[in-house]
Amino acid sequence: MIEPDLSARVEAARAALVPAADLALAYFRDLASLTVERKTGGQDVVSRADRDVETLLRAALAPAFPDDAFLGEEHGRAEGSSGWVWIIDPIDGTSNYLHGLTEWCISVGLAHDGALVAGLIAVPCRGELFVASAGAGATHNGQPIRVTATDTLRTGLTGIGASVYSVPAEIGGLVSRVLAGGGMFVRGGSGALALAHVACGHLVAYHEPFMYLWDCAAGLCLVREAGGEFRAFVSDPDRPMSGAVTAWAPQERADITAILAPETPAGS
């Protein structure tokens, strides 16, 4: 019912991500020139690259869709009247980025009347682009992707996320339960990219106790359109744009509560 408006926006985002990726890479190749600021603590950082990439994306999209709202990690919310909301994380995995590690991405989600309808994740260091839109499936560099149909928490890799908002004992419990169940965990440092890895079958599941909407909007759309399932934002009613996120391949539905997220009530 929202076509062709959705397709037009997805294509506009796809085009905007090209210069955004170029800009992020240019800064990445000259990290010594970046001034790093601390937000809430030593690991909560932001740089000029984050702000400039988000500014570029807003400047590329707003003229074409002047009535759309924007929600970005660095520049906050700009209200709109169309029912469409762009949800932007200009560099997800900023700590990786600023330490010269390549596991970071640019995440652009899109919601319509409160429902996630599209997600695009660009991985500039690898020349990768993940795209998903409601009812149209998910792709990686133009090729269809699906969550794994064979791996389990015991045979595959499980992503676990942590941040300055994490409770250390909770993260330790997650790791302990995965290992005790015969599985293996990974932490890449970018929640958005980890969700993309679930969507394309590299990870069987991903759990992070605290994410903001801009961290996960695009990734959750990718997981859903790739045949996966998720629960999000059910743990903290005082922060409606943040909370626990769990995504998984459908065959692992029964094990998710027992092993990965026993403290997270059902919902989505």
pLDDT at res. 223 = 98
Q: What does the alpha-carbon distance between residue 201 and residue 196 come to, in Å, rounded to a whole number?
A: 9
Going from the C-alpha of 16 to that of each of 22, 229, 268, the distances in angstroms are 10, 28, 30
Q: Please give the pLDDT value at position 139.
A: 98
**What Rg do the C-alpha atoms of the chain give, in angstroms?**
18
- What digits encode the pLDDT tens for the residues 56-74? 999 999 999 999 999 998 8
| Strand, helix or coil for residue 166 | coil
Instruction: Look at residue 249 and tell me whether its pLDDT is greater than 80.
Output: yes
Evaluate if residue 235 carries a pLDDT over 50: no
**What's residue 3's pLDDT?**
76
pLDDT digits (tens, 9 = 90+) for 143-155: 999 999 999 999 9
- Residue 46: predicted pLDDT: 66
CB 213 within 8 A of CB 236: no
Taking a C-beta distance cutoff of 8 angstroms, is the pair 161, 207 a contact?
yes
Cis peptide before 63 (omega within 30 of 0): no
What pLDDT digit, counting tens, does each position of 103-157 carry?
999 999 999 998 999 999 999 999 999 999 999 999 999 999 999 999 999 999 9
What residue type is assigned to position 13 of the chain?
A: A
Q: Which of 160, 53, 130 is nearest to 97 (CA)?
A: 53
pLDDT (mean) for 38-63: 80
pLDDT tens string 205-231: 999 988 999 999 999 999 999 999 998
- The mean of the pLDDT values for the chain is 89
Cite the DSSP H helix spans in the chain: 5-28, 48-61, 94-98, 168-180, 191-199, 213-225, 253-255
pLDDT for 240 equals 57
Number of H helices, E strands in the chain: 7, 15
Q: How many Å apart are CA 147 and CA 134, to the nearest integer?
A: 16
- Residue 122 is predicted with a pLDDT of 98
At 117, the amino acid letter reads V
Minimal CA–CA distance to 132: which of 101, 107, 163? 107
